[in-house]
Every structure is written in C-alpha cells, then in structure tokens.
Amino acid sequence: MLLQWRDLGTTNVACTPYKNHWHVLTAPNVDFALLDLSCHCMHYCGLVKHLLLKSKLKNLLLETCVVEKSEEWVISDASVAYGGVAPLSLCAIKTKEFLIGKKWNQDVLQGALNVLRTDIVLKEDAPGGMVEFRKSLTLSFFFKFFLWVSHQIEGKKSIKESVLLSDLSAIKSFHRPPLVASQDYEIRKHGTSVGSPEVHLSSRLQVTGEAEYADDSPMPPNGLHAALVLSKKPHARILSIDDSGAKASPGFAGIFFAKDVPGSNKIGPVVLDEELFASEFVTCVGQVIGIVVAETHENAKLAARKVHVEYEELPAILSIEDAVRAESFHPNSQKCLKKGDVDLCFQSDQCEMIIEGKVQVGGQEHFYLEPHSSLIWTLDSGNEVHMISSTQAPQKHQKYVSHVLGLPMSKVVCKTKRIGGGFGGKETRSAFLAAAAAVPSYLMNRPVKLTLDRDIDMITTGQRHSFLGKYKVGFTNKGKVLALDLEIYNNAGNSLDLSLAVLERAMFHSDNVYEIPNVRIFGSVCFTNYPSNTAFRGFGGPQGMLIAENWIQRIALELKKSPEEIREINFQGEGSILHYGQQLEHCTLAPIWNELKVSCDFLKVREEVDGFNLHNRWKKRGIAMIPTKFGISFTTKFMNQAGALVNVYTDGTVLVTHGGVEMGQGLHTKVAQVAASAFNIPLSSVFISETSTDKVPNASPTAASASSDMYAAAALDACEQIKARMEPIASQHNFGSFAELVTACYLERIDLSAHGFYITPNIGFDWSTGKGKPFSYFTYGAAFAEVEIDTLTGDFHTRTANIFMDLGYSLNPAIDVGQVEGAFIQGLGWVALEELKWGDAAHKWIPPGCLYTCGPGSYKIPSLNDVPFKFNVSLLKGNPNVKAIHSSKAVGEPPFFMASSVFFAIKDAILAARAETGHTGWFPLDNPATPERIRMACLDEFTAPFVSSDFHPKLSV
C-alpha cells in the first residue's frame, strides 16, 4: 500500500523497496513507502512506523495528507496503492477521491473501507494465492494505518475520538527479543566414548565448506553432463517426439529414450509399476521421457528444452477426493485394522456424544540442501559400472542400475560418502535418477553426471504425502473416547513407490497415545496424476497423529473442556493393548507429560494468555501441549537387518564400514563411538570413510529412525568377534597400548577383520489378521508451545517451545538434542509455513498438474526468524531402553510431530480471536496454518465482506 504524507518544515525522505531490502533516500516534499502485501511478509505497518521515526518527522500529516483546519483534521491529498495483491500494482483511485476533503474520524474510516472493497477488484482465479486473503488485507492494512495516524495525533485539541487501548495491539511495533535456549540431559558414559556428547565427526569440514558431496566429485576429462526431458502434461498419450532441435544444440553428445534402455524399462522399489522413460503414456507433469547428455550442464539443459513432444491429452485425477470419487486406487493397497466392535458401541447408549468430520493434511517438500546428484562411469570396457550418488539407499541404486542395464548386481557398485540431507526424499526417488544417468554412461562408455536444479528436483521427485481423514468418534460427557471409525486416504501420485507402507504407518499411529476400546480404520492409497510421493521424516506417522489430535480438540470444544484435560483422561499406559494387538511395555508417557507440565507452568501461562487476549483485540496468544508415541522399526520385517565390516590395523586404528548413510544426522559419529568403546580406544582412533555396496551388501535404506540401533549393533557384533579372537593373546601379556596388542595378534596370524550382523528381534505383523508386533519399542515425547498471532494479517511467531523426549541412555546426547531441535523446526514448516500449490480445481490459475511452489521464492521453509524465542529441550533422565544398543532410543523421526504443538497453539489463539465476534464453536484448520489461513479464520469486519463464517480455504491434497 502506497502511503504518502507531507512533513512541514523537516527533512523529507523516500523509502523504497529494492530486492527485498528497504532503502531510505532523500527526496523533496514527499515521503512514501511501498508495502508489498505478499502472503508471508506481514510487518509492514510496523515497518512504516519504524521508517518514519527514523526519519525524525515531527508534524506527521497524512497526504493521505491531513491538515489541521478549523480545529479539525482534514485530508487535503491522498495516494493509496497496493503491490503484491495482483500481478501489477493497483492504485485505489476511487478511495483517493473519497478521502480528499474528508475529516479524519471513524466515519471516514468506514467510508474508505466501503470504497476500497469495490476499488481493488480481484478475480477468483487471480494468480498468486488465496484471493479472499488478499482482499481482506487491503482493508486490514488501511485500518492499521488509520489507527496509527489516529494514535499519532491523539491528544491534540481538535481530536475528539480516542483509540481504544485494546486496538493499540494492531499498531504496536514488533521487536524480536534475543533467542534463549536450553538443553537439559544426563551423560551416561559407557566405555571411552558411548554416551559422551561428542562433536559430529564431519562438523569442521561442513562448517568450512570443505566437506565433499556427490556433485563435488571431479569430472573425468571425457565426462558428460545430463539433463532430463520431462512431461508437460499430467495425463496424455505421446504422439511424437522431435529431438532435432536438441541434436543441433551446442555441445550435444547424445539423447536416449525408452527404446534405448539396454535392460528393463520397468522399475519400482516394491512393485515394478514405473517406467524409467515414458514410452507411450505420461501420467504426471515432470515424468521423465528421455535424457540428454552434453559437454556442460547448461548445454545439456538447453538441449533438453529443445525436445518437442506432441501429446493427446487425457482426463487427469488431481486430488484425493477426485480419486475417491473415481475409485482410483493403486492395486492391492487398501487395508483395514479393527479392535472391539465399533458399530455396536455407536448403537449402544455408551456413547453420550458422537462427532463426525474430516481433516485435510497438507504435503511437504523435503528441501534437502543438496539436490539429487549421481556421477556414473564404466570400468573394464563397460564390464563394470560404478557410481557416486547422493542417496539414503545405495543398494537401491545398485539394484535399479543393474536392472535397467541388464547387468548382474555384482558388477555394479554404488558409493556414498555423505549426503546433504535426505529426510526420506533420497530413499527411493534418487534411484530412478541414477538409473536414467546410467543408460547414456553405459551405452557411450563415458562418465555421466546428473545433478538436478532445485525446481526440477521439486517438480520430479515427490514430496510428503498429503492425506484425507474422515472420522466418526463416540465419547462420554466426561470426554472418555469409546469408539473411533476412521477412513484415511493418502495421495500416492502416479506410482506406488512406498505409499502403501506410509499408509500402514499412518494407520498404526492413528491413535497417537490414546486408549480407545473400539477402533476401525480403513486405509486406501490413491492413484493421482502427480509425481510419485515418497518417504518423508515420520513416514505417515505424523499425518495419522495429526488427524487424531484434530478430533481430540473437537471433543474438548464440544464439552467446553481444555484439550489437555481430554488428552490426559484418554492416555494409554503400561500394558495397554493397541488396535493392532501390540502391548505397551516400558511406557514413559506419564512422567514425560508431567515433567513438561511442571516445566512450562501450564496453568499459570494459561491465565497469562487469557489475560493478554482480554486486553488486546488484534493480537492473540494461544498455547497447547501435545504428546507423541512413535514406533521404532521398519514395518516390513525383512528390512530390519544391518551389516557392518570392521578392520583393525596394526597401528591400533580401526576402519568401520556399515550399510547406513551419513546424511548429517550423526550416524557415523555414533557408530564410531560404539566401536571406540568396544575396543576401549579413543574416538579419534576410529574412522568411517563411506558407505559402499561392495563392502556391505544388501543394506536396508537409512530410514525409519532405526539406523543407529541397527548399524551400531552390527558394528558392535563385528568388534566383539575380533575381541574374542584377540582375547587369548591379550590374556597372556600386559600390553601398553591397543596398537601393541594388535601387532602381537597380527604376528600370531589372528584375523583382525570381521563382518557384523544384526536383526531386530521379536517383531512381525500379519495383515491377514491385523494383529502382531510391528515395532520393537516406542519413543515417547511431549511438547508445549505458546504463540502470538496478528489477527489482521495472519502473521505469527512462536514465543516459547518446551520439548521433553525419552531417548533412553543416549549414545550421544549433543547429537540427539540437535536432532530434536531440527525435527521440531522442520515440523514447524509442515504445520505452519510450507504449502504446496498444484494446478487443480482449487488453483485454476496454475496449469493442471503443475507445481507452482517449485523454489524458495514461492515455497517458504522455516528460517532463523521462525525459531521460538525460548526454545528448551530436555531428555528424560533415568529411563534406560532395554530394547536397543547400550540402552539408547531412536531419535530421528519421533520429535517431528512435536511441532504440532505450535499448530494447535495457533488454533487456540484463533479461537480467542473468533470469540470476539461471537464464534465459539469448532472450526476446521488445515495444515499448513499459513498466514492466509490464520487471518481468514480470525473472523471480523474485514473478512466478512469476502467470506462466510464457515469459510474453508482450499488446499492441494
């Protein structure tokens, strides 16, 4: 909004935006600031005030210029313009004409708002996002400006109207306080290194930028760069492909399609339902049709863009609800879990209240800092294929490449030094990219590197599954849940990938931590014309738990009780039998919840928040406490196995190779700590170089939070084998050092190398009966959050976050606390910031099936400004885990859901805002709770012209 004013007798300044920064320039007779109403930049009114104060204006007169005339303030001139509300900046000409000559009072405010509604016109399909939100902002910002000017001139003799104290919250400047954080944990040492808060072994290289990743691998002199030819239609028949333009492009070296694949063109991690290169049909935008290789990365991309494909378009399914209506499900992907008799319970008089509803759960982009990358080359005249890949599953790369090339797996080697984040996104979807690059490398007998640009990465490789949950819940007047009937659907995209396993985990976690006597859960995997969605931290668990917490909160509103009270009376405990037959053992939910409640002084904060909300009309605070229970193990039994190779050298140093991948989570550090303690040597004497399929075969992906449990145990097994061989020599002499012992063993021809192996014991689940023990154990946690929202803009910040986790006796508490903090912030992005916008019926301004939010300019991941002002992490003390190595617990995925405390705190704040206009009942709020959704849920006179009280914003699911 362009706000123009005149200052009499002082230096004037002009404040203009330039590349997202504000610059103050001197200019004669005019001050102005251009306010961009884009969805995620909400502090403009405070910003304008800040700029004005900095310019030391004394007699601020709105121009919108307000002059004192006959002891009244009259608007002599005005300029009002909006940027970011439409593709081009809009000038509110009618509003300007209305304002000029009017007295500055409440009447002019109401009149200007009425004119503004018709002055700034947006069509329903206007590009950029939620139209209703942008329309309301035009009014909200004008109202903020009116309040600010009124407050500035308040007290002058000609002003008869005062700004209400409760209204001042609309214009109060925001000052971000210094961040305060604490980490509370105990150190339980075991041997020389286990239990110690050691620094991540690669940290120095990473912070200095010296750590090497896949794309850092030097290109051989005859190496080529690759780029993908991608579909531009969500569902179509390929009529023809014209590659003449690509072949004439600079640096072109080759182009390859389905007909050129030496082996099989069919791929897939579970079932072979994908094509490496689309042959006749494309089933999503971004599907790979072919691959181009050229001398440089830029030339390869240029050539790929010159490939022209003719299509015959076919009907596309672009949402879960479209898929349900069309019964578009992946084959054999519908599941059911039952406990008790749901129908009988609903029909009986036990259920004093029954509620029904649905929950839409948004997806999420992995946004690892290192995009997908593979370098592939041949050896021995093409008899062997080697690759360096950024992947969580080197074995899958080995398998895919051997499959499409028609080679035995023994002739294909995949190596991974480290990856720059994966979060599940590099578990399976990285493999088809390596396989695509392998085709030109093998056929041309030349090295080929394929590294995706960020937009291509986001368009092609899938995201966290969006979900739709339809629930029916029966409960007593006291809030005790008696029956849950749930249908859940996930959006798999155009191939099955891991979507069935994601659905299964969501079904396992649909109770979160609540004792429910009667449960029935139906789950279905939807086929849609989007790129195949895939694993993401939590693997369906967070989606299932978020649906559960939604109906828990709705029960609380129905009964006019606090959600925390409803949670407590429904908690599971020691010995509880879950809806899939597993019995809880060593349950630490109650002590975690109680310690969290004491640490955050919940009842006192509740009173303070209620007091704040009572005295502030346009800023509201909210709080929430959320528990979690996350099952640890791959739910597919055979994947719960791990191998490691340990070599001891005569200088007393140890080389460990295992099947897990270091992706920043500290896996190598923990495994090295276990090996160091096993041999009673310093951590510096243990080295882990890389993960390689020719050292440890058939490794499961580094996923499911189980890698430290399994690979550390496998390494320990190998160490114990070597120690057993060394024992006869060690018992004969007093050696001064480990190196002396090793040398003595070597001279006695003792084998100083061993392969270790570990399987997770006592697990298994039978889907034919719906009963079993899918998880070895559970990691428990709970989190408290307090937020503050600006009801006029939807902006929010997290004032406090307290997290308690039970991680047993941590192998490395410093790394584990870092994992908790990182998971929480990533989860915060999922619940409140990151929205995927696809071309569908709800977003007609985006081409069908296309991803609009394909880069950081339109897709907002958390930043430093999103870190809670007070961020406290505590690990439960004195609770060893008997089910995992050295009494530790898995940490990677369980803390992710803790960020939902922010989501429900936001909803608590919105409830306070809605109460101001008499709306006190339950309302749907989908994640992510972006500023758009927050603002439009805070019903007031500025949203009323554009939406009804039951407005439900559209979400791509």
pLDDT tens track for 91-148: 999 999 999 999 999 999 999 999 999 999 888 888 888 999 999 999 999 999 999 9
893: annotated active-site residue = yes
Query: Cα–Cα distance between 192 and 680 in angstroms, integer?
Result: 6
Q: What is the CA radius of gyration of the chain?
A: 30
Query: Cα–Cα distance between 884 and 164 in angstroms, integer?
Result: 60
Q: What is the mean pLDDT of the chain?
A: 92
What pLDDT band is residue 231 in, cutting at 50, 70 and 90? very high
Model pLDDT for residues 248-273, shown as the tens digit of each residue: 999 999 999 999 999 999 999 999 99
Query: Cα–Cα distance between 417 and 691 in angstroms, integer?
Result: 6
Q: Which helix (H) or strand (E) holds 523?
A: strand 518-527
In the chain the domains, ranked by start, together with CATH numbers, are 30-170 (3.30.390.50), 222-315+372-451 (3.90.1170.50), 335-364+463-634+772-937 (3.30.365.10), 641-759 (3.30.365.10)
Residue type for 511, please? D
Mean pLDDT of 906-923: 97
Residue 37 in this model has a pLDDT that exceeds 70? no
Helix (H/G/I), strand (E/B), else coil: 616: coil
Give the pLDDT of residue 45.
31
Model pLDDT for residues 672-700, shown as the tens digit of each residue: 999 999 999 999 999 999 999 999 999 99
Mean pLDDT of 752-766: 98
Q: Is 315 exposed, middle or buried (0-12, 13-18, 19+ CB in 10 A)?
A: exposed
Per the residue annotation, which of 63, 365, 834, 893 is the catalytic one? 893
Helix (H/G/I), strand (E/B), else coil: 645: strand
Mean pLDDT of 410-430: 98
* CA angle 729–730–736, rounded 5-degree value: 125
Mean pLDDT of 917-932: 96
Give the pLDDT of residue 700.
97
Helix (H/G/I), strand (E/B), else coil: 485: strand
* pLDDT above 90 as % of the chain: 88
Query: Cα–Cα distance between 560 and 566 in angstroms, integer?
Result: 10
Helix (H/G/I), strand (E/B), else coil: 702: coil
Give the pLDDT of residue 36.
34
Binding residues for substrate: 427, 505, 539, 635
Model pTM score = 0.93
Mean pLDDT of 22-40: 32
Residue type for 789, please? I
Give the pLDDT of residue 162.
74
Distance set, CA 929 to CA 716, 855, 938 (Å): 45, 20, 12
Give the pLDDT of residue 786.
98
Give the pLDDT of residue 129.
84
What pLDDT band is residue 164 in, cutting at 50, 70 and 90? confident
- β-strand pairing of 373-379 with 384-389: antiparallel
Model pLDDT for residues 844-884, shown as the tens digit of each residue: 999 999 999 999 999 999 999 999 999 999 999 999 999 99
228, 460 Cβ separation under 8 angstroms: yes
Residue 529 in this model has a pLDDT that exceeds 50? yes
898, 823 Cβ separation under 8 angstroms: yes
Cβ neighbours of 499 (radius 10 Å)? 26
Residue type for 713, please? A
β partners of residue 628? 781
Binding residues for Mo-molybdopterin: 392, 423, 537, 704
Give the pLDDT of residue 72.
77
β partners of residue 183? 873
63 φ/ψ angles, rounded to the nearest 5 degrees: -130, 60
What is the secondary structure of 799-845 as a DSSP string?
EEEEEEE--BS-S-HHHHHHHHHHHHHHHHHHHHT----BSSTT-TT
Query: Cα–Cα distance between 93 and 112 in angstroms, integer?
Result: 11
Model pLDDT for residues 603-652, shown as the tens digit of each residue: 999 999 999 999 999 999 999 999 999 999 999 999 999 999 999 999 99
3: closest CA among 138, 163, 151?
A: 138
Give the pLDDT of residue 159.
56
Distance of CA 564 to the CA centre of its chain: 25
Q: Which helix (H) or strand (E) holds 543?
A: helix 541-559
Distance of CA 881 to the CA centre of its chain: 28
Residue 59 in this model has a pLDDT that exceeds 50? no
Residue 23 in this model has a pLDDT that exceeds 70? no
Give the pLDDT of residue 70.
55
Binding residues: 392, 423, 427, 505, 537, 539, 635, 704
Query: Cα–Cα distance between 740 and 734 in angstroms, integer?
Result: 10
